[in-house]
Structure 1
Amino acid sequence: MATSSDDLFEVASLEELEAEGRTLISRGGKALAVFAHEGEIRAVDNRCPHMGFPLAEGTVDDGILTCHWHHARFELSCGDTFDPWADDVQTYPVEVRDGTVYVDPTPEREKPPDEHWADRLEAGLAENLRLVLAKSTIGLLDAGVDYRSPVERTLEFGTQYREAGWSSGLTILGCMANVMDDVASEDRKRALYTGVRHVAIDCDGEPPTVSQPAFSTTDVSLERLKSWFRECIEVRDADGAERCLRTAVAAGYDEAAVAELVFAAATDHPYLSTGHVLDFANKAFETLEHVGWEHAPTTLASLVEPLATASRSDERSSWRQPVDLVALLEEVYGGDVTETSGLETLASAGGGTGSSWSPPEDFQPTLLGDDPEAIVDALADAVRAGATTEALAAEVVHAAATRVAQFGTANEFSDWNTVHHTFTYANAVHQSTRRTDAIELYRAVFDVAINVYLDRFLNTPPAPIPDPEENETGRDPDAILEDLLETFDAEGEVDRAGRLVAEFVACDGDADELKRTLGHGLLREDAGFHTLQNLEAAFEQFELARERGEDADRRWVPLIATARYLAAHFPTRREAEQTFTIAARLNRGETIHKSPSDSSTV
């Protein structure tokens, strides 16, 4: 039986170990593999750092220890891996005294856990290694690292290693940062893993960014920079636009001013790239709120390429025929779609304070109606009556959420994304109006309303929005949430998901518990870009409606809408959850691989 000597632990006689070539010992619940190779004694953690295979069952040759499960290779003397996806294996000091081999089972670690997992995050992002990313995100949060730190590093990576600029990966990262306070503790790890893995996927194989510098002078007015920036985007000059934008940041203009510059260009043409461009811009500003304005130069510069290359809806037939919707807007704007003089006149008449305006009773029915002229007139009247961009955006985003909540399941499945795009664009517009009061954002509000109009046939007939007041009360809210998760396990339970949310409301369920359940339902799935966006936008809109003190029948619409949307897209194969579960078990030290000689249950 092994015994201690000072701080060392007895392994075996040197003669026995050299004869056998290897042995396995256990101390304090940790198994160590000890090898005699080329006249040297080496000891390593028996668990392969990749997926936990017992390294004592591996092969040692020419100074290399090879794991038999996935063939990860390790330099035996120091434990460093040849394969970045595997991580380095921990080595342990050994001594030979009087023919007996001893090992120190508690060596000093080279790096504390937070530094180790930060390094692994870098490797996972650089090589798109999903298991490494899962282990590192779990490890960082378990080590007490604030989620903002890995979000910051992932943002830096995503803006540096994707020449095409901001896209779905960084948008997902921003969405997941936004829902961190809405999901359960364990799901915060899933959310972080979701964000970083999508950035890694987006950047995989892409050329790095080539940045343009700011101008050497910062003595340029915001109005001139704004004019230059818009003109560069208009003619699709990405390099010139980037220099203007970087100069605005370098000149010290505040967030609201820089946001005005960006959102002006993002609304010079309606509904750029089905709403993604303005949504990208809004998410970039929101992500900066998590990591700090010092990242603004590179973060905002990544928006330029999507802006310059965006498709423009005023060039699409659906905006021109059978009704020339662009012409309707141009009459209000005072010229072509890039103008704002007409909007300025309307806003000046109303004072733009919003204090004198509240939506008429027929405002929502008009927005959801089939008369585009009436919709445009209602919006213009609202601006003239003093409606601010924020107040008006709150109305159109509710109409967009209603389209999702009333989406008819007889439509083609792909049309879920049609109403989804309008809703997430509307959410981005609403959030943008809270960041800057730029007059150009009125154009974005009109764009949303026009798109709500274009989506009208997807509510024909409209799916009824369950009324919480018509549900029976008395059922345990927790049981309803369990039913909701079970609903996500079956295909096609769209309407039932909406009814369960309404029943939960009727039974006085806690909205925060509902959000945690919806978040868990989402994060256990292989959710795509749109599904992740949809939930985050619904959470944002619910909270804003709650802050405004909206009636229950209105403020719950976004959560009913997203429950239906999630149910339409679930279940999935849950491959990401499998990877996350393996990573969590490995980080806890659990056994993943079952040796043929091991009769215990894995």
Structure 2
Amino acid sequence: MPSSDQTGKQPALSLLPDVSRAQSINGGWQAATTMAELSKTGRKLVRLKGCQIAIFQTDTGLYACNNRCPHEGFPLMEGAISQGCVLTCNWHNWKFDLESGDTLTGGDKLRRYPVRLSDDGTVEVDMSEPPMAQQRDQILANLDVALHEYDYSRLCRELARLDLIGADPLDAIRVAFACRMDRFEYGTTHAMPGAADWLAYRAELSDDRERLASLAETIGHIAWDSRYRPVYAFSADVKDWSETGFAAAVEAEDENTAIALVRGALAAGLTWDDLRPAFARCAMRHYAGFGHSVIYVSKIAPLLALLGAQSLESLILPLTRHLCSVTREDLIPEFRAFNVVRKDWDSLVASEPVTKDDFLGLPVARVLARIRRSAGDVQGCYHALLGAAAWQVRHFDHRVMYRADMPIGTNVNWLDVTHALTTAQAVRELATDMPELWADGLLQIGCFIGRNTKYVNDETGQADDAAIAAIEDNGDSDAILKNLLHKRVLDHGCDDYIEPVHRLKTIMMARAELAAFPDAPWRDDLLVAVNRYVNGEFPRRRALRTAHQSISFVGRE
């Protein structure tokens, strides 16, 4: 055991022998202690170059390691040696093989140091640091294990280690997408667009803790969505790129062909700028995945701007899988009008003036028909739809989330209404660059408006008059949204990833749209809506409702 005072307590760090100024022997070798001193207890704690180093004399040799357990920092000098050179941290039973360096029980690798014994009995420890590239590669290899096991705390520690050695912490995100892209059974998840927003938000932060937290949320979401998943292999075939062929493969849900065409595009050196129109058209062709497809396509460009072109393959292969497997709600009765209205669009579209009130209270089919009467002015129609979507979030009847007698098809929550906002932003960004997409995009927003009509109440959302008045009177919308980001997103306290990432996406959407249209007529409604949503409760599992729906469903089987 380590040397101690008469109380048996480990000496304070300031009392440890400081040999950091000892003469360096052959570069990084430092005189640490003597064999005579070490043999008294079989272990010795010293401080070298500002680090606590634990030295052990065992049946199999001499070993030195960081005294702090890589799990939670407890002193390994208080640990037990067994089986010759297995060191156990007695706080949480993590076990380390001092000979091989393997972590036998636990996660993080233990930092070990070479030890040698000089002719005069001096125990020397090599304190030289491995090359930065070697350390980086080891950390990234460790991350792969933590990703598979969804070890959030370890992910965060490895990110901190990456930053500490001066490596690019975004390498961790690049590796995470590359290592886990074939673990997403149905392709892209919210982890991808969430990464775009988390990393964009991180770029605004100066506090090291906040910057690390944003990275941890990014990589944690990737790990959560792919945890313990087997490999869902992508086709290795390569075919010459053809947008027509790609669209046909996606429409036929032929993933292997679609992937082969994408691989051909990458082999030919095509960039996301080259491929983006094809993906956008496929995402817009259907009201698919409740707006997710459009959002996913829109977030590739900003994410690549942060991660670099080397991440293109790991982002678009899962996106291709998503487009081939995603649900197509325009094929079910509630949204069938999407294709009916779109069919004769070019010959019947008009430019009738429109406001948000023209869309409120209407079912899906009537909303879409009303869009066609005004879509000749795409900007005017877009603003009216966004205004209606913001109004619906502001007036969402949150009581519906707590009802236990709801039919199984009406399990709605905040995400059902806020998705209209985030989809609207994605539509505007894509259709601004590709104007031919406005028709499909406006109709997608309209599907949300018509569907959410059932879940709003004119009186709901007016209870907190003081907060609403403060928002409406405050001219600095960006300050309002930054405050929400700080208070309700970064240190969210949520058990899952969907809730905080949706808060983040919705706030970032509001910032982008208000930056583009600072004097838009929907400004106040949007700010009030986002404030109400972000500060609202988010019930996810409703035991009584699930029981009610199960009894009802099984009774009709």
Q: TM-score, normalised by structure 1?
A: 0.73
What is the DSSP-based 3-state SS (H/G/I as helix, E as strand, rest coil) of the residue aligned with 2:275?
helix
Q: Does 1:381 align with 2:373?
A: yes
What is the DSSP-based 3-state SS (H/G/I as helix, E as strand, rest coil) of the residue aligned with 2:40?
helix
1:130 is aligned, of 152, 158, 163, to 152
- Deviations along 1:530-573, one digit per CA (max 9) or x if unpaired, are 4412432332332232232325x63354443233222223799x
Offset at 1:39?
A: 6.6
Percent sequence identity over aligned pairs = 20
In structure 1, C-alpha distance between the alignment counterparts of 2:224 and 2:318, rounded to whole Å: 17
2:94 is aligned, of 68, 72, 77, to 72
In structure 2, C-alpha distance between the alignment counterparts of 1:368 and 1:519, rounded to whole Å: 33
Offset at 1:60?
A: 1.3
Q: Does 1:229 align with 2:231?
A: no
Deviates more, 1:117-126 or 1:56-65: 117-126
Offset at 1:196?
A: 0.6
Aligned pairs for 1:148-547 (under 5 A) are: 148-183=170-205, 185=207, 186-213=209-236, 215-218=238-241, 225-251=242-268, 255-256=272-273, 258-270=275-287, 272-319=288-335, 326-327=336-337, 329-334=338-343, 342-345=344-347, 360=353, 362-370=354-362, 375-384=367-376, 386-387=377-378, 392-413=381-402, 414-437=412-435, 439-464=436-461, 496=464, 499-500=466-467, 503=470, 506=473, 511-512=478-479, 514-515=481-482, 517-524=484-491, 525-526=493-494, 527-547=496-516
Name the counterpart of 1:578.
none
CA 1:381–1:248 in 2, change beyond 3 Å: closer, same or farther? farther
Aligned pairs for 1:81-100 (under 5 A) are: 81-83=103-105, 85-91=107-113, 93-96=115-118, 98-99=120-121
- What amino acid is the match of 1:541? A
Offset at 1:34?
A: 2.0
Name the counterpart of 2:8.
none
Offset at 1:9?
A: 6.5
Offset at 1:500?
A: 3.7
CA 1:207–1:55 in 2, change beyond 3 Å: closer, same or farther? same
What is the DSSP-based 3-state SS (H/G/I as helix, E as strand, rest coil) of the residue aligned with 2:202?
coil
Offset at 1:230?
A: 3.0
Q: In structure 2, list runs of 5 or more residues that go unmatched.
A: 1-15, 403-411, 541-557
Offset at 1:56?
A: 0.7
- Deviations along 1:278-313, one digit per CA (max 9) or x if unpaired, are 323333344223223443344222123322222222
In structure 1, C-alpha distance between the alignment counterparts of 2:334 and 2:366, rounded to whole Å: 18
Is the Cα contact below 8 Å between 2:383 and 2:522 reproduced in 1? no
Q: TM-score, normalised by structure 2?
A: 0.79
Offset at 1:92?
A: 5.2
Q: Does 1:43 align with 2:72?
A: no
What is the DSSP-based 3-state SS (H/G/I as helix, E as strand, rest coil) of the residue aligned with 1:206?
coil
State how many pairs are aligned: 505
What is the DSSP-based 3-state SS (H/G/I as helix, E as strand, rest coil) of the residue aligned with 1:125?
helix
Q: Does 1:568 align with 2:536?
A: yes
Is the Cα contact below 8 Å between 2:471 and 2:524 reproduced in 1? no
In structure 2, C-alpha distance between the alignment counterparts of 1:249 and 1:425, rounded to whole Å: 28
CA 1:305–1:86 in 2, change beyond 3 Å: closer, same or farther? same
Offset at 1:378?
A: 3.8
Offset at 1:116?
A: 4.9
In structure 1, C-alpha distance between the alignment counterparts of 2:311 and 2:450, rounded to whole Å: 38
- Deviations along 1:486-531, one digit per CA (max 9) or x if unpaired, are xxxxxxxxx65x9547526635557247415424421212253144
CA 1:505–1:363 in 2, change beyond 3 Å: closer, same or farther? closer
Bigger relative CO (Cα 8 Å, ≥ 6 apart): 1
